[in-house]
Amino acid sequence: AIVGVSRDINKIGHVIFQNFIESDFKGNVYAVNPNVEEVLGYKTFSSVNDIDEVDLVVIAVPADLVLDVVKDCGKKKVRNVVIISSGFAEVGNEKLEKELKKLLDKYDIKAVGPNCLGLYDSYSEVDTIFMPKSRVKRPEKGKVSFVSQSGAVGGAILDLMSDNGFGFSKFISYGNGVNLDISDFLEYLKDDENTDVICFYLEGVKDGERFFEVLKEVSKVKPVIGIKAGVSEEGREAIVSHTGSLSGDDLIYDGIFKQCGVVRANSVEELFDFV
C-alpha cells in the first residue's frame, strides 16, 4: 500500500504508485488517499485499515502526518514500512524522529527511512524510488547490491549502472535509519541468493561496535566494497544536515575497513572499477 497517492503527477506518492502499476510486480498494489476516490483509474482507500491484507506500506506524506499513518499500520499489524517522507532529524527535528522511533518500537514495525529513496529489487520489482524511470533508469537484473545512506548518491549510482550495462540485484537507500541501518542491510544481503557483490556508501553509523562485527562476518562470505563520505571537515558538516548523522573520524573507518577486509573505494568511478 502506498500512502499519499495524489492525482498530481509531480507528487512523490503518485510517481511511486505509477512505477508499481507500470512494472512487472506480481502482488497487489493499493493507493491510499482519504481525499479522492480514484487515481489513474484505481480505487483509492481512506486508510491502510480499509485494505484486507498489507505486507508493506510506503509512506509518502508530509512529516507531521507520518505518526498517524504509523499508528494505522500498528493497528493493522503491518510489520514493514518504507518512510520516504523527510522533515525529521536532518532538518533539526530530532523530537519528531524520537517519537517516530518510539512508535515503531511499540508496534514492532521495521522501517526503512525516513528521508530516503527506499528500495528497489530488480527480481521482485518492488520499487519505492520516487523518481520516474524516465529520470532515473533502473538497471537490468544482476548480482550486485548497493546500500546507500544518501538518496542522491544512490540515484546517481542507479543511473551509472544502467548506462554502463551493470546487472543489479537490490538497491537500498535508508536515509536517517531510524530503526534499521547499514548493519541490518549488510546482514540481509550476506544471505541473499541474488547478491554476489555488496557495495555501500556510508556517511556515519550509530552503533559502531555492531557495524564492525557485522562487517567482519559479511566480508568472509561475499566481497564488500565501501565508500565513506565526509572525509573533509566541510563534508562532515554537510552530512549532519543531510541525514542527521555524525560522520566520525575517517581514520577510524579506514582502520575498520582494513580489519574487516572491505575494499575501500575513494570515488564512484573507483567503485565501478572494483565491481
Tens-digit pLDDT profile for residues 193-226: 999 999 999 988 989 999 999 999 999 999 999 9
- Supply the pLDDT for residue 239: 45
pLDDT band at residue 66 under the 50/70/90 scheme? very high
Smallest Cα–Cα separation from 85: which of 113, 46, 48, 55?
Answer: 113
Q: Does position 185 have pLDDT exceeding 70, yes or no? A: yes
The H-or-E segment that residue 11 falls in is none
Amino acid at 186: L
pTM for the full model? 0.91
pLDDT digits (tens, 9 = 90+) for 38-53: 999 999 999 999 999 9
- Supply the pLDDT for residue 225: 97
Over residues 105-123, mean pLDDT: 96
Q: Does position 245 have pLDDT exceeding 60, yes or no? A: no
- Supply the pLDDT for residue 154: 87
- Over the chain, what is the mean pLDDT? 92
pLDDT band at residue 165 under the 50/70/90 scheme? confident
- Alpha carbon distances (Å) from 170 to 119, 130, 174, 177, 216: 7, 16, 13, 17, 21
pLDDT band at residue 238 under the 50/70/90 scheme? low
The H-or-E segment that residue 98 falls in is helix 94-106
Q: Do residues 238 and 246 make contact, with C-beta atoms less than 8 angstroms apart?
A: no
Q: Do residues 189 and 195 make contact, with C-beta atoms less than 8 angstroms apart?
A: yes
pLDDT band at residue 251 under the 50/70/90 scheme? confident
Q: Do residues 214 and 186 make contact, with C-beta atoms less than 8 angstroms apart?
A: yes
- Supply the pLDDT for residue 231: 59
In the chain, pLDDT over 90 holds for what percent of residues? 77
Task: Specify the pairing of strand 2-3 against strand 57-59.
Answer: parallel
Sequence-ordered list of residues with C-beta below 8 angstroms from that of 110, at least 6 positions apart, any chain = 79, 80, 81, 104, 179, 180
- Supply the pLDDT for residue 152: 86
pLDDT band at residue 132 under the 50/70/90 scheme? confident
Residue 64, sorted as left (phi over 0), alpha (psi -120 to 50) or beta, turns out to be: alpha
Over residues 136-152, mean pLDDT: 91
